[in-house]
């Protein structure tokens, strides 16, 4: 939407509708965001997830112990290690986090991961992990070291140890197959990744990823980053990415010990080959509830030996008349895992810092991000639509600029646009405005010098 006098007059009915839409804001603690630069301290809670997994014993390095509840909730102190157990069997010891999944518990073993999924789902009291996994007390107590999580998954499913536990404790139904266990875990993946609005930013660039499990896997991604002519393996040529926006449907069809393979099918795509629409085949994504962790396997470029000063000075030639070169290493290419971490968007209830939208009920909507470092980003999948009596002057795109917010005077200033790819839409051309926050800080009425009024609603960490 173009925020100038002309479009304000044309679009006033639409703006009135957005002002009347109630704010839909879920709970979340801004102190859980690592971008605020503070070390997290003190007690908190996390969840064990393959759906919520209840009935699992745990003990932390700070000596907090208990049993996960029906939602998989456990207590810990920031910085703790936590060990989860069923009976006398340790199913994993990891860094305590807001979200712990079998991917974390399995470490780097895909075998252990597959077996953990089968075990947890097959010990569910009602045999239906779709409504959550609750392992009864007597079932958990019957588990011991005879359960070998490192055995061949095909053998593990039919193992006597697993069948005996189910028989003596009266669990109904059948042991989950590897495919059933895998598919159930995949069904939880989009919920996990939708736990927050994920951002990665500094003073010059910003990237946002937002997904929705409730909307059939919708995703919105924006990148305010320089043009790049090199891919992830630094193979360079024509331009492969540019600042822009993606909106579409994301699907997740597989996972491994690094996370889920998510692929976007864009409906809107202005950032060329960047983003979820063009993931590397080795890209994986997961979350610990505080950060979104993206990894991919990339090729390490071979080092090239430079000619000696002697050969450069005297231009020693080979038999073919060219400059004599040291033969390149013909061995196999080496690879490494490249990692990128996104944090949940900061939200300060007493200032503009946070993420904002006009309509909290949809994902395909301009998303306004005010970072604590004084930078602003707009991810706009709409632009300035053409309508009766109005010719479009802006396409979907992104904005990235500097902002100032004076709480006492309610002044908001935006200037110095580094990126502005959505034409006349958005905040470009709007250098200052006044803000009026709602009592709880979850909505703000923004009024420009020209009298344009827009109401935004805060989006924050909703949790899994």
How large is the C-alpha radius of gyration of the chain?
Answer: 26
The residue among 352, 354, 324 whose CA lies nearest residue 445 is 352
Rounded to two decimals, the pTM is: 0.83
Please give the pLDDT value at position 390: 87
pLDDT in tens, 22-64: 322 333 333 344 444 567 889 999 999 999 999 999 999 999 9
Q: Would you say residue 119 lies in a domain?
A: yes
Instruction: Determine the distance from the C-alpha atom of residue 52 to the mean position of all C-alpha atoms in its chain, rounded to a whole number.
Output: 19
Task: Give me the mean pLDDT over the 185-204 stretch.
Answer: 95
Match 């107590």 to its residue by tokens. Answer: 141
**3 state SS of 377:** strand
Is 292 in contact with 196 (CB distance < 8 Å)?
A: yes
On average, the pLDDT of the chain sits at: 86
- Contact predicate 30/36, CB 8 Å: yes
State residue 328's pLDDT score.
52
Distance separating alpha carbons of residues 88 and 332, to the nearest angstrom: 44
CATH number of the CATH domain containing 369:
2.40.128.280
- Kindly indicate the confidence band of residue 7, based on its pLDDT and cuts at 50, 70 and 90: very low
Residue 54 and residue 10 share a domain? no
Q: Is the pLDDT of residue 435 over 90?
A: yes
Average pLDDT over every residue of 442-456: 91
- Between 236 and 441, whose confidence is greater? 441
Write down the pLDDT at residue 172. Answer: 87
Look at residue 401 and tell me whether its pLDDT is greater than 70: yes
* Helix/strand/coil for 105: helix
What pLDDT shows up at residue 26?
Answer: 32
pLDDT tens digits along 325-361: 444 556 778 999 999 999 999 999 889 999 999 999 9
Indicate if 160 and 45 belong to the same structural domain.
Answer: yes
Residues 155 and 257 in one domain: no
Predicted confidence (pLDDT) at residue 321 exceeds the cutoff of 80: no
pLDDT value of residue 229: 78
Q: Identify the CA nearest to 393 among candidates 432, 367, 368, 426.
A: 426
Tell me the C-alpha distance between 8 and 19, whole Å.
14
End-to-end CA distance of the chain: 32
Confidence of residue 112 (pLDDT cuts 50, 70, 90): very high
* Judgement on whether residues 417 and 430 belong to the same structural domain of the protein: yes
CA distance 79 to 42: 9
Residue 322: inside a domain, yes or no? no
196: CB partners within 8 A, 6+ apart = 28, 287, 292, 344, 345, 461, 462, 463
Helix, strand, coil in percent for the chain, rounding step 5: 20, 40, 45
User: pLDDT at position 38, please?
Assistant: 62
The sign one gets for the Cα dihedral 125, 126, 129, 133 is: negative
User: Which DSSP letter does residue 198 get?
Assistant: E
Q: Quick check: 236 pLDDT over 60?
A: yes
Residue 323 lies in a domain: no
H or E element in which residue 201 lies: strand 198-201
The verdict on residue 430 lying in a domain is yes
Question: Both 375 and 428 in a single domain?
Answer: yes
Percentage of the chain beyond pLDDT 90 is 71
Same domain, 213 and 305: yes
* Predicted pLDDT at 57: 99
Out of 138, 173, 191, a domain closes at 191
Q: Is the dihedral of CA 76, 80, 86, 88 positive or negative?
A: negative
What pLDDT shows up at residue 203? 98
- Domain end, chosen from 162, 191, 220, is at 191
- Residue 233: its pLDDT value, please? 64
Same domain? 187 vs 43: yes
201 and 112 share a domain? Answer: no
Q: Within a domain: residue 328?
A: no
Count of structural domains, the chain: 3
Residue 240 pLDDT: 85
CB burial of residue 350 (10 Å; 0-12, 13-18, 19+): exposed
Starting from the edge strand earliest in sequence, which strands make up the sheet with 89-95, in order? 65-67, 57-60, 81-86, 89-95
Residues 6+ apart with CB under 8 A from 49: 72, 99, 100, 101, 188, 192, 464
| Sign of the alpha-carbon dihedral angle for 94, 99, 101, 103 | negative
Q: What is the DSSP letter of 24?
A: -
pLDDT for 82 beyond 70: yes
| Dist. CA 310–CA 68, nearest whole Å | 70
Same domain, yes or no: 153 and 239: no
Q: List, in order, residues 6 or more apart from 125 with CB less than 8 Å away.
A: 55, 134, 135, 136, 139, 171
High-pLDDT (> 70) share of the chain, %: 84
Overall average pLDDT of the 427-442 stretch: 90
Domain that holds residue 134: 39-191
Q: Residue 6: what pLDDT?
A: 36
Least confident of 99-108, 215-224, 305-314: 305-314
pLDDT confidence tier of residue 387, bands split at 50, 70 and 90: confident
Alpha-helix residue ranges (DSSP H) falling in 194-256:
none
CB 233, CB 170: distance < 8 Å? no
Residues 208 and 183 in one domain: no
Last residue of a domain, one of 191, 206, 223: 191
55 with 151, same domain: the answer is yes
Q: Is the pLDDT of residue 316 over 80?
A: no
Same-domain check for residues 290 and 359: no
């Amino acid at each position: 939407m173009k925020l100038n006098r002309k479009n304000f007059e044309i679009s006033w009915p639409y703006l009135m509708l957005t002002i009347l839409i109630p704010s839909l804001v879920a709970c979340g603690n801004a102190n859980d965001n690592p971008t605020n630069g503070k070390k997290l301290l003190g007690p908190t809670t996390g969840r064990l997830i393959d759906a919520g997994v209840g009935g699992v014993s745990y003990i932390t390095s700070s000596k907090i112990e208990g049993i996960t509840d029906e939602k998989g909730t456990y207590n810990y102190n920031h910085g703790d290690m936590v060990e989860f157990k069923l009976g006398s069997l340790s199913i994993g010891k990891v860094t305590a986090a807001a979200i712990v999944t079998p991917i974390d518990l399995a470490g780097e073993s895909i075998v252990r991961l597959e077996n953990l999924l089968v075990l947890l789902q097959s010990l569910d009291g009602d045999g239906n992990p779709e409504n959550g996994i609750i392992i009864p007390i007597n079932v958990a107590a019957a588990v011991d070291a005879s359960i070998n999580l490192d055995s061949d998954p095909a053998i593990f499913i039919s193992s006597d140890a697993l069948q005996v536990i189910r028989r003596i404790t009266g669990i109904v139904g059948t042991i989950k197959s590897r495919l059933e266990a895998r598919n159930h875990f995949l069904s939880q993946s989009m919920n996990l990744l939708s736990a927050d609005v994920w951002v990665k930013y500094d003073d010059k660039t910003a990237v946002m990823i937002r997904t929705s499990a409730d909307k059939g896997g919708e995703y919105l991604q924006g990148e305010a980053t320089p043009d790049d002519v090199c891919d992830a393996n630094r193979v360079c040529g024509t331009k492969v990415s540019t600042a822009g926006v993606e909106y579409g449907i994301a699907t997740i069809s597989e996972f491994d010990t690094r996370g889920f393979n998510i692929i976007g099918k864009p409906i809107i795509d202005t950032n060329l080959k960047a983003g979820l629409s063009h993931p590397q085949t080795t890209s994986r994504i997961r979350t610990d509830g505080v950060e979104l962790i993206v990894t991919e396997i990339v090729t390490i470029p071979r080092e090239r030996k430079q000619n000696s000063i002697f050969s450069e000075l005297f231009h020693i030639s080979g038999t073919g008349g060219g400059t004599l070169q040291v033969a390149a290493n013909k061995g196999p290419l080496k690879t490494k895992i490249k990692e990128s971490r996104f944090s949940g968007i900061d939200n300060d209830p007493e200032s503009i810092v946070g993420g904002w939208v006009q309509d909290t009920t949809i994902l395909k909507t301009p998303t306004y991000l005010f970072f604590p470092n004084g930078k602003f980003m707009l991810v706009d999948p709409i632009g300035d639509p053409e309508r009766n009596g109005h010719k479009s002057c802006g396409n979907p795109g992104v904005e990235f600029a500097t902002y100032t917010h004076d709480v006492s005077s309610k002044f908001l200033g935006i200037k110095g646009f580094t990126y502005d790819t959505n034409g006349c839409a958005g905040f470009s051309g709007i250098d200052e405005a006044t803000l009026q926050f709602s009592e709880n800080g979850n909505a703000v009425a923004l009024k420009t010098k020209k009298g344009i009024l827009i109401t935004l609603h805060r989006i924050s960490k909703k949790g899994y």
